[in-house]
Amino acid sequence: MKKILVTLLALLVLMNALTATVYANSAQTHWRGVDSTGAMVVGENCPIEVTGEKLTFDIAEFPDDYYYDRETYLAYTGKVTAEYTFYNPTALTVTATLAFPFGKQPDYANVYDEESKTYLTNVDAEKYDVTVNGEAIEKRVRYTLSTDRQFILSEDLTRLSDTYVTDDFYSPDMTVTKYTYFVGGANREGLIDEEQYRAANVAFDWDGGDGRSRIYFPEQSGFHTQKDGDGRLSRWADNGDIFCVYVIGEPLPEAPVFTCYEDGGVDDREVIDGTVALTDTERMTLETFALTSWREDTGVLRVDWYNAVIWALIEGGQGNAKYNYIDMHYGAELSCDRFMTSLMRWYEYEITLAPGESLVNTVTAPIYPAVDMDYDPDIFTYTYLLSPAGTWADFGELEIVINTPFFLIEDSFGGFSETEGGYVMVHSGLPDGELTFTLCAEAEPDAPSRVLGALRVIALVLSVVGMFVGKLLVPILVVILIVLLVRRARKKRKE
């Protein structure tokens, strides 16, 4: 029952919006200068100046709702080209390492390879070149963790590292203990009565320990503070479920002990019959744990994957210091395909300028919009990060060109002029804030329907209530879903 409801809820969320925020712009990560005698000069502030930047967005088509094969995905033509004119005003030959973030893999890319039976990732990462004065140069694709929070240059740029990240708690050689559990007990002698309890929970109590251990429960669905002050970590459970709990740091004297609870309940008065058996205990290092699902064919460096996992653990533990548990949901053991969708992709490359030299550096990357299907027709919002350019010593003129047959209905600066082939804006210096603009096939799309919004709210409420009421609400949810699907189909036919 609960699985049906969760599936319907997921479909409703998918219908609401398909989002993919694209980040771009080059920022310096480090630089070195060499004078005529060969001595190395290292400084915190790179002296290279940007005398001009031209951004060109080529958007002749909107992305499909979903991509399933490599050829169709790679055929998508939306791209952004950043053309920088760099100048070295010093008497030193300066070599700078640059990083250009070009966004996470979009939600609507679901490219599956039948031969390897895996979802392909980053099939578009090598689609375009980085050039200097028109000649392609070597680049590397790097990766950092990028959650749904706003991009913050000072934080995200520092996550690019050639060495393993460490902090006051995490280190690559620390111990991780993996406990594996089975719902139903040995020989299925401790089954939950699924006829009576259609949405049973299993949970264990955790007081936070002494700070030398942290709990990571990948399939955790809830956390509850008990009257005695302990925390209770829970998950939905069916007979036959297999799941794991990880203890990072000092091993516990005993493995966590699970108790079964009735539908949605985690209070002691709601305990029900059922057994959750510990079937295996395994010790490993944090490095081994972090790289469990890493695959070389993803193209992600081992160091980038490890560091992304550590940052996920750090962020997942924020706000839970009292109980020392990690609340994040990247799938069991940070599953490869799911975790890949949370990684920011960067082009990393070097440029070298002789004293007084100017050069033109061009970076081209695919660009994917956030899609809002509530409008009629759909609207597509593009994001380009200008803040990384603030790392340069000086910044001259910025020209932004949008080549598109579509209508520009909104932008963050409000200074675009319409041209024969799209829109253009010229700005002296670097504007404050990031660039966002929204395109649509019509100049004035219809705003979201209040009726549709109300139906979605009702569907969400009913899906939650349905976990406790039973099968009666399934037909109701199905009817609501059909209404939404019919409206969606009508809109597509109209387009």
Is the pLDDT score of 471 beyond 50? no
346 in a domain, yes or no?
Answer: no
**Range from 248-252, 268-272, 467-471 carrying the lowest mean pLDDT:** 467-471
CA-angle at 308, arms to 307 and 314, nearest 5°: 90
Residue 171: what pLDDT?
A: 96
3-class DSSP state of 89: coil
Residues 310 and 355 in one domain: no
220 in a domain, yes or no?
Answer: yes
Residues 410 and 464 in one domain: no
Question: Into how many domains does the chain fold?
Answer: 3
Is the pLDDT score of 450 beyond 90? no
Residue 373 neighbours by CB under 8 Å, 6+ apart? 15, 16, 17, 18, 488
Residue 88 neighbours by CB under 8 Å, 6+ apart? 47, 48, 49, 94, 353, 354, 355, 356, 357, 358
Q: Which of 418, 440, 462 is the last residue of a domain?
A: 440
Q: Are 494 and 445 contacting, i.e. CB atoms less than 8 angstroms apart? A: no
Q: What is the mean pLDDT of residues 140-159?
A: 81
87 in a domain, yes or no?
Answer: yes
Query: Which alpha helices (H) appear in 137-216, and where do they start and end?
Result: 153-156
Residues 163 and 132 in one domain: no
Closest to 358 (Cα-Cα) out of 54, 138, 84: 84
Domain CATH number, residue 134: 2.60.40
How far lies 291's CA from each of 163, 172, 280, 335, in Å? 15, 11, 20, 10
Place of tokens 């997942």: 316
Question: How do residues 42-58 score in pLDDT, each as one tens digit?
Answer: 335 678 888 888 999 99
468 in a domain, yes or no?
Answer: yes
Higher pLDDT, 138 or 396: 138
Residue 246: what pLDDT?
A: 96
Question: Binning pLDDT at 50, 70 and 90, where does residue 263 land?
Answer: confident
Residues 275 and 216 in one domain: yes
CA 218 and chain centroid, separation: 17
Q: What is the mean pLDDT of residues 489-494?
A: 50
Q: What percent of the chain is modeled with pLDDT above 90?
A: 40
373 in a domain, yes or no?
Answer: yes
Residue span of the structural domain in which 456 resides: 450-494
Residues 472 and 420 in one domain: no
**Range from 1-15, 63-77, 192-206 carrying the lowest mean pLDDT:** 1-15
151 in a domain, yes or no?
Answer: no
Q: Are 181 and 258 contacting, i.e. CB atoms less than 8 angstroms apart? A: yes
Is the pLDDT score of 332 beyond 70? no
Residue 253: what pLDDT?
A: 94
Residues 418 and 487 in one domain: no
Residues 288 and 374 in one domain: no
Place of tokens 């109701």: 476
Residues 56 and 193 in one domain: no
Sign of CA dihedral 293, 296, 299, 302: positive
Query: Which alpha helices (H) appear in 192-299, and where do they start and end?
Result: 286-290
Residues 284 and 412 in one domain: no
Cis peptide before 475 (omega within 30 of 0): no
Residue 9: what pLDDT?
A: 34
Question: Binning pLDDT at 50, 70 and 90, where does residue 426 land?
Answer: very high
Is the pLDDT score of 399 beyond 80? yes
Q: Which of 341, 359, 393 is the last residue of a domain?
A: 341
Is the pLDDT score of 483 beyond 50? yes
Q: Are 429 and 398 contacting, i.e. CB atoms less than 8 angstroms apart? A: yes
Closest to 85 (Cα-Cα) out of 350, 482, 394, 323: 394
Residues 40 and 124 in one domain: yes
152 in a domain, yes or no?
Answer: no
Is the pLDDT score of 225 beyond 70? yes
Q: What percent of the chain is modeled with pLDDT above 70?
A: 77
Question: How do residues 235-260 score in pLDDT, each as one tens digit?
Answer: 999 999 999 999 999 999 999 999 99
Q: Which of 341, 372, 407 is the last residue of a domain?
A: 341
153 in a domain, yes or no?
Answer: no
Question: How do residues 67-84 score in pLDDT, each as one tens digit?
Answer: 888 888 889 999 999 999
Burial of 308 (0-12, 13-18, 19+ CB in 10 A): buried
Residues 436 and 454 in one domain: no
Higher pLDDT, 112 or 133: 133
**Range from 20-24, 225-229, 275-279 carrying the lowest mean pLDDT:** 20-24
Residues 184 and 310 in one domain: yes
